[in-house]
Structure 1
């Protein structure tokens, strides 16, 4: 157990963000397997054959120690940074720091040429790493990006709404099964680890990262601030295909085929325009079905910026789960 000092007064300095680069790094961890392996099987089988295209990325993030250099996980400066903005921050990392952290990932092991290049020509090696991250993002993350961003938006909006109704403690209460908040500290259930951390006057940024899955990742020492990655509500739906036909199933008989298709689609957050585009519906028709599902308690809605995003409730999940062939 690790105890991270975080009192009630620190809630005023809490912020949320969603980071494309954090999704990249967490997805690299996911490629190794772990507790969520069964959820991500199809994603992993699609991405793994392309890994030889990114040898520097693979050497840095899939090395023998299961380690990601700290400079690749900067605390986001804004709530919704783009990948380009975050890579620009990484590119500004002092080269001696880049070399030290990359080499540390291979301590005690024979490093491949891609790692040795950081010692010989760190500027060129870093540029190659950033280019490969862009390529990896296009293949591995971009197809899921609308779902990942929408899930984070709904998580943040839901927590903000709960905090406005029940108090600021709701920003951190029940974040994750491996986390508890005592009112004075966050308790992190890390196997075989003991310790006590402090915010040391820094803000704490919470990042709902879809690829974090059942794990929690803490960054307690970053000079840019303190951060905690955890999965948003319903993260398991991120890898669920929404292309299953519902036309001949009981759910369709109960709700009608179109409304059943809408409910199936809401495994991940969608706006009215998203639903209309995905199912080929008029905007008014999509809005009608979404409102009906919401009124029936099968879907909920949360505002994310100017968008109203709908997602299945627990009751909606149970109904669609029971309808699976």
Structure 2
């Protein structure tokens, strides 16, 4: 069933991109209980298996029905384009308990037996305590499931935002939506998210819309957030197919012999635009070495660069792409 968002003229001026470590944390929690969505993330699942086994995620899972409402207050829309988990979890702890109770009740109503369960009744009986306990669980999940991998995840999310921001300037809002996901439709100033749970309509009323790429939401596109929060559309980030691939696994041997192993690894690691520090972390190289390799590759016409926010992002030119993938195609 569709999710409809009605735009006024002013809403188009207030659309923005953002990324959220809190959203990724709750989405990672949700993913653990959805085996059908594990495909792209099996390497991550192997890495976090031991730590995840020590987490008691049952109260969060209770509020995440397969179909229907998931609580907004445990993954609030970020206030700015880039925010920290500490800032976001502080907002969760500050949520009005009455608002949280209503939010939890909607989710429990969509889980068979949720409202009548002892665990559900406990959450609703003392929503102030429930908010703090759920925030504690989210903090534990962040530390175990997401924080160790956040530089890699953030790099992919930032690259997605950089790419789609450029495409927004080139194609306009309607053209961008079709590229973000085939589940997004634009008709008569209304954005429709196809395939979501329920049939829901909301007028943006001048608040605008937050567009958020996510690593763990695939294959879904989520349209969400009720009053009083700003509406958002969360969509799968580009490039998640190679997210957990190590650099050495994707560097053709012929290219390594031509450019040198480290320089070839840098070129092949740029499946999505990335900055020097991100590449250094991903490749376990010194930032100064990565910077030198990037300069040589750009001078050779294999990379281009542009500034995005506080950093410079590098991406491959058509020649760089051809070199990076040619050996695989030849095989």
Q: TM-score, normalised by structure 1?
A: 0.81
Question: Cα–Cα, structure 1 residues 141 and 321, in superposed 2: closer, same or farther, change >3 Å?
Answer: farther
- Long gaps (5+) in structure 2: none
1:154 matches 2:154: no
Match of 1:176 among 181, 184, 196: 181
Q: How many Å apart are 1:213 and its aligned residue?
A: 2.3
Whole-angstrom CA distance in 2 between matches of 1:245 and 1:237:
9
1:91 matches 2:93: yes
Matches within 5 A, 1:1-325: 1-6=2-7, 10-33=11-34, 36-55=37-56, 57-61=57-61, 65-66=65-66, 68-107=70-109, 108-109=112-113, 114-165=119-170, 167=172, 172-182=177-187, 184-190=189-195, 196-219=201-224, 221-244=226-249, 246=251, 249-267=253-271, 269-276=273-280, 278-281=283-286, 283=288, 285-294=289-298, 299-311=303-315, 316=321, 319-320=324-325, 323=328
Q: What secondary structure is seen at the aligned counterpart in 1 of 2:80?
A: coil
Whole-angstrom CA distance in 1 between matches of 2:176 and 2:230:
18
Q: How many Å apart are 1:31 and its aligned residue?
A: 1.8
Whole-angstrom CA distance in 2 between matches of 1:236 and 1:136:
23
Question: Cα–Cα, structure 1 residues 20 and 196, in superposed 2: closer, same or farther, change >3 Å?
Answer: same
Q: Deviations over 1:207-247 (max 9, x none)?
A: 1222222311111523121111112322323222335385x
Question: Cα–Cα, structure 1 residues 7 and 94, in superposed 2: closer, same or farther, change >3 Å?
Answer: closer
Determine if contact 1:14/1:204 at 8 Å carries over to the other structure.
yes
Q: What secondary structure is seen at the aligned counterpart in 1 of 2:73?
A: helix
- Long gaps (5+) in structure 1: none
Q: What secondary structure is seen at the aligned counterpart in 1 of 2:16?
A: strand
Determine if contact 2:8/2:204 at 8 Å carries over to the other structure.
no
Whole-angstrom CA distance in 2 between matches of 1:6 and 1:19:
24
Give the RMSD, CA atoms, in angstroms. Answer: 3.5
Determine if contact 1:4/1:186 at 8 Å carries over to the other structure.
yes
Determine if contact 2:18/2:78 at 8 Å carries over to the other structure.
yes
Q: How many Å apart are 1:292 and its aligned residue?
A: 4.9
Q: What secondary structure is seen at the aligned counterpart in 1 of 2:185?
A: strand
Q: How many Å apart are 1:143 and its aligned residue?
A: 2.0
Question: Cα–Cα, structure 1 residues 295 and 35, in superposed 2: closer, same or farther, change >3 Å?
Answer: farther
Whole-angstrom CA distance in 1 between matches of 2:44 and 2:300:
33
